[in-house]
Amino acid sequence: MHLAGAGAPRVQNIVKSNAPTRPTSDPAEAAIARVLQAERDARDLIEQARRQAGHIAESARAEARALAERTEQRIRSVVGAFDEELARRLAVIDGEAAHMAAPHVLADAELRALDRAVHLLAVELTGGATS
């Protein structure tokens, strides 16, 4: 390094990262220019990869939302079918319960059979003779 005048360092051939590329004859300058170009290319590739990652992430989120919606629709469908089947079965049970709760008027033959059964039970319980 050469010193110029009032003690200030004199710097030659400084290549800045934002300097335009230009043909050079100096191998060192050419090497520096290649490194700087490689850095720019790498930054561009990194930015491109970030954008692609963002697109991939958004696509995955969209697919997840669609899957969640399809799953929710299927669950609602299954629950709806279950509710319909439950309502049908409860209607059958309610019908049977209503039928069972209605009074049953005994016919004459049923009354005679009941009388015979009561008489036989009474004889058996009292140890008496049948008549």
What is the distance between the alpha carbons of residues 54 and 57, in angstroms, rounded to a whole number? 5
pLDDT digits (tens, 9 = 90+) for 33-49: 999 999 999 999 999 99
What is the distance between the alpha carbons of residues 33 and 41, in angstroms, rounded to a whole number? 12
What is the distance between the alpha carbons of residues 54 and 52, in angstroms, rounded to a whole number? 5
pLDDT digits (tens, 9 = 90+) for 7-22: 545 544 455 555 555 5
State whether residue 47 is helix, strand or coil: helix
What average pLDDT does the chain have?
86
pTM above 0.75, yes or no: no
Please tell me the least confidently modeled range out of 6-10, 24-28, 88-92.
Answer: 6-10
Q: Which residues contact 19 (CB under 8 A, 6 or more apart)?
A: 36
pLDDT digits (tens, 9 = 90+) for 69-78: 999 999 999 9
* Contact predicate 17/36, CB 8 Å: yes
Q: Report the length, in residues, of the chain.
A: 131
What is residue 9's DSSP assignment? E
| pLDDT grade for 53, boundaries at 50, 70 and 90 | very high
pLDDT of residue 104: 86
How is the chain split into domains, by residue range? 11-126
Give the pairing type, strands 2-4 and 8-10. Answer: antiparallel
